Structure 1
Amino acid sequence: MKQYNTRAIMASLLICGFVGMFSETALNIAISNLMDVFQISAATAQWLTTGFLLTLGILMPLTGLLLQWFTTRQLFIGSLTSSIIGTLIAALAFNFEMLMIARVLQAAGMGLLLPLMFNTILVVYPPEKRGAAMGFVGLVIMFAPATGPTIAGILIEYLNWHYIFWISLPFLILGLLVGLKYLENVTDITKPRIDLLSVVLSTIGFGGVVFGFSKAGEGVESITSTVVVTSIVVGVVALVLFALRQIFMREPMMDLRVLKYPMYNVGLLMVLSCMMIILSSMIILPMFLQNGMRLSAFAAGLMLLPGSALNGMLSPRMGRLFDKYGPKWLVIPGLVMVAVMLWFFSHISIESSVAFIVLLHIGLMIGISMVWMPAQTNGLNQLPPELYPHGTAVMNTLQQVAGAIGTAVAIIILTSGMENYLHNSPAPSKQTEMANAMTLGSQNVFLFAMIVTLIGLAIAFFIRRVVVNHSSMNSPH
């Protein structure tokens, strides 16, 4: 294998990945603030998140193709240019439209960067060191979104929301400069034929599903709305046609042969269940802390920081343990731990102590760190090198879809639980009754997350270590 300056390559990718993931969640805390500043409704403000997810959902499926059409450096520079321009526009934004354009540009940068990061790691690291390298990506993917709300809370408290973006800008420029100096082209350019019908079907399919579920997550009344039902149905039909087309094409845009590899499928299902668990609980917990326990946004953010920080720090460690012992001894105990924590979470109330909730969250995040990266790395290890771009594209795309579905289901369970409670309540407008309704709704969401975990646990018993056959590995040219 060719020798690469892996440290410098990783540093540039991780800095940019961190800032991208950070700005994705940092803005969530500022939403209520932005509604006042721009005089917009909650549904309009929600577009700052929905638009971001939608851009990712549309762009991610195309990355397998883009990785074969453009060099690593071209994609890296394109991704960062988009992120930097987006961040600058957001920092200067004086109206909602300007901020919306900025979010789309940021999401486009992120949508290119994540698959590029996974693909580069698969190429520049030998299989026995991939776990640790993927662990660092885990650090970024988990720790950055977790610090977003806390840092944003401080910035909004003492400065204003523009600083969320001003603070990100120098890091993106630094990442770009490091990448320009050290990042090499690690993939072969094969320039497969671009099939326009596949691009259209994938855009309508993934876009429709992500959009439909994102809209459904705005509340119970929107679930049955024509917009939601139509976009999900149209999306699913387009996805079926897209999948059929890929199977029969000689040079598919998204090669579904990756699904022929059993450990890849197990890894994929583990990652998707982790994504649903994380997103459903990460959306509900801050809401419960703020609306149920009446804590400030900043206090809620601080409570979630220890667990998320620990998850990030443990991720590389879990990667090394995976390199040494394989996935089974991490994934199964990890899922058991997650299930136990969620069971306790499904019994929390307004009387629960802050320390108890922080401890549960720490346990949950440690459990997730034991599952996510080991299962993902093990799955990708089973693919032959020519399928790496497709394997990462399928995984990253379905993560976005699972995220949108997890979020929507969580909000639907929460609101229907609250509405049922308040419907039977003698004094539905009383503060205590609202808090009780919030508690009941939240408990239901944690039960849902626990069921997802138990299904994941059943699948985890099939996981076994992939032995990578070195002779079959193409050395990068």
Structure 2
Amino acid sequence: MTVDQRPADQAATGRGPASDDALPRQVKVVLGLLLVASFVVILNETIMSVALPRLMVELEITAATAQWLTTGFLLTMAVVIPTTGLILQRFTTRSVFITAMSLFTVGTLLAALAPGFGVLLAGRVIQASGTAVMLPLMTTMVLNFVPASRRGRTMGLITVVIAVAPAVGPTFSGLILSALSWRWLFLVVLPIALLSLALGAALVKNITVPKRVRFDVLSIVLSALAFGGLIYGLSSIGESTQGHAPIPPLIPIGVGVAALALFVLRQLRLQRDDAALLDLRPFRSRAFVLGVVVLLVSMGALFGTLVLLPIYLQNVLGLTTLQTGLMLLPGGLTMGLIAPVIGRLFDRVGPRPLVIPGTFVVAGALGLMTLLDESSPIALVLTIHVSLNIGLGFVMTPLMTSALGSLERSLYSHGSAIVNTLQQLAGAAGTALFITIMTTGTAAGLTAGLDQVAAQASGIHTAFLWGAGLALVAAAASFLVRRPSGSTEGMPAGH
């Protein structure tokens, strides 16, 4: 049986909304709340980047261990997100939203009260469980309720939230850490999360038609082993370079690869009866595959950079946490400001004229980061970071919109789950790669007789060089990106 993710009134008529003005009030309310909730979630995720050096000292942990506060978040999302395609089909909008925000709120409270690293990590994991459901919910709602002709500008508004939150997060974190304990990073977020939850409970109604579809337990187990094993193994590489990994990284990576192969075979068999946990038919779309490949390579480079830049600013240039946050603010704000313009341009010209120059700007910015050392001027770092975010602005909205918009309506939730899952995998891979290269390069510098600051600057330089190489791969692939040949709105699922 085909799963129908349209709202109840559209399911009856077989038509989508003709314009933004035709959107029902409840749809606008849900989309608005999802934007607010996503802002809170992403803000919470990015405030940790500036806090990691402080936490390394106060909790007496290494950089490789501290990265688990980010990687553990990604690991949990990679395990949960593959199930969201089925969750969004089986349960109502209201129940999904309330459950996701409740998990995020409980995790935030636990992290704020954590007596040590273990409990803090547990709080982050619970937060991620809610985040993993909420982000695909927002994307799927946009795909189902916003007409294809105006989808770019709507996704542009989402990009504003996604860009401004990371921009504000580090600055917000720096302000708090300059005067208060790291616990206030969560205590300040908690009231906002509670307010979002209360508004959702009061205002969000059921605007989709859930279908009774079964959860395949074997698929869930294989998914957890596959994506969890891969991210755990990739994350352990950083620890293994310092001799702290409890398990050799190749073991969980091997388990992950084997489980992934079995998971794919299982889904291919189940999707014949529309019973797959994660339907893989989106990969039949050329536009989807190309868009996802370029997006993931860019995301890997981005996540690695987001981890390294605060370390460089604080440990090499000697900036405070507040100064580091202020340094990262203009780039994110710039990306947020240009996102609506890029969304409108996408609706007019499609993805290719935007993505090609965007990927080259990203590659150029990462290439310039290889020039940074212990004597680099702040103005140069700021200019390069702003340039990086401008390039990413030209890449993210067009790729996400064109890749997911190329799918049939019945595959929207699964396509969103696939993209979000692979983004977490790319993020973990990028973070692990950059941390490993930095650690190895720093150790080599110390062996060569450099002091600690110069050695770390050398390691970061090498990591940025790898990031530039990854970005060039994305730039080469961007020439293959095309606008989808036609809208699939309203197509039957088996078309």
Choose the corresponding residue for 1:125, options 139, 142, 146: 146
> What does residue range 55-134 of structure 1 map to in structure 2 within 5 Å?
55-134=76-155
Counterpart secondary structure, 1:198: helix
Change (3 A) 1:49 1:455: closer
The equivalent residue for 1:171 is: 192
Choose the corresponding residue for 1:201, options 206, 210, 222: 222
Q: Distance in 1 between matches of 2:247 and 2:194?
A: 44
Choose the corresponding residue for 1:50, options 71, 77, 80: 71
The equivalent residue for 2:458 is: 440
Choose the corresponding residue for 2:258, options 227, 237, 240: 237
Does 1:384 find its partner at 2:408? yes
2:24 is aligned with what amino acid? Answer: Y
> What does residue range 412-427 of structure 1 map to in structure 2 within 5 Å?
412-425=436-449
Q: Distance in 1 between matches of 2:86 and 2:344?
A: 31
2:294 is aligned with what amino acid? Answer: M
How far the C-alpha of 1:402 sits from its partner, in A, is: 0.5
How far the C-alpha of 1:403 sits from its partner, in A, is: 0.4
Change (3 A) 1:470 1:54: closer
Does 1:256 find its partner at 2:308? no
Change (3 A) 1:244 1:37: same
How far the C-alpha of 1:375 sits from its partner, in A, is: 0.9
Deviation larger for 355-364 or 241-250: 241-250
The equivalent residue for 2:7 is: none
Counterpart secondary structure, 1:84: helix
Q: Distance in 2 between matches of 1:302 and 1:129?
A: 34
Choose the corresponding residue for 1:461, options 450, 466, 479: 479
> What does residue range 34-433 of structure 1 map to in structure 2 within 5 Å?
34=55, 45-218=66-239, 220-222=241-243, 226-249=247-270, 250=273, 251-425=275-449, 428=450, 433=451
Change (3 A) 1:440 1:458: same
Change (3 A) 1:406 1:223: farther
Contact 1:223/1:229 (<8 A) preserved:
no
1:153 is aligned with what amino acid? Answer: G
Does 1:29 find its partner at 2:50? yes
Change (3 A) 1:34 1:292: closer
Contact 2:240/2:249 (<8 A) preserved:
no
Q: Distance in 1 between matches of 2:112 and 2:437?
A: 35
Counterpart secondary structure, 1:212: helix
The equivalent residue for 2:13 is: none
Gaps of 5+ in 2: 1-15, 18-22
Contact 1:219/1:411 (<8 A) preserved:
no
TM-score by length of 2: 0.89
The percentage of counterpart residues that share the same residue type is 39
1:16-59 C-alpha deviation (Å, 9 max, x unpaired) = 11111111221343344445555666666544333322211110
Contact 1:380/1:391 (<8 A) preserved:
yes
How far the C-alpha of 1:200 sits from its partner, in A, is: 0.4
1:177-214 C-alpha deviation (Å, 9 max, x unpaired) = 44345444344322222211111000111111111111
Counterpart secondary structure, 1:218: helix
1:276-307 C-alpha deviation (Å, 9 max, x unpaired) = 12111111122112222222222122111111
Q: Distance in 1 between matches of 2:347 and 2:378?
A: 36
Q: Distance in 2 between matches of 1:247 and 1:152?
A: 45
Q: Distance in 1 between matches of 2:114 and 2:424?
A: 27
Q: Distance in 2 between matches of 1:360 and 1:151?
A: 22
Deviation larger for 274-283 or 174-183: 174-183
Change (3 A) 1:37 1:434: closer
Change (3 A) 1:135 1:219: farther
TM-score by length of 1: 0.92
Contact 2:49/2:306 (<8 A) preserved:
no
Deviation larger for 257-266 or 185-194: 185-194
Contact 2:93/2:205 (<8 A) preserved:
yes
Q: Distance in 1 between matches of 2:30 and 2:489?
A: 25
Contact 2:362/2:388 (<8 A) preserved:
yes
Change (3 A) 1:160 1:330: same
CA RMSD of aligned residues (A): 2.3
Counterpart secondary structure, 1:383: coil
1:4 is aligned with what amino acid? Answer: P
Change (3 A) 1:223 1:129: farther
How far the C-alpha of 1:101 sits from its partner, in A, is: 3.2
Contact 2:49/2:310 (<8 A) preserved:
no
Aligned residues: 469
Deviation larger for 38-47 or 362-371: 38-47
Q: Distance in 2 between matches of 1:464 and 1:297?
A: 42
1:311 is aligned with what amino acid? Answer: M
1:53-104 C-alpha deviation (Å, 9 max, x unpaired) = 2211110111111111111111001101111222223333344444333222
1:391 is aligned with what amino acid? Answer: G
How far the C-alpha of 1:468 sits from its partner, in A, is: 4.0
Deviation larger for 17-26 or 353-362: 17-26
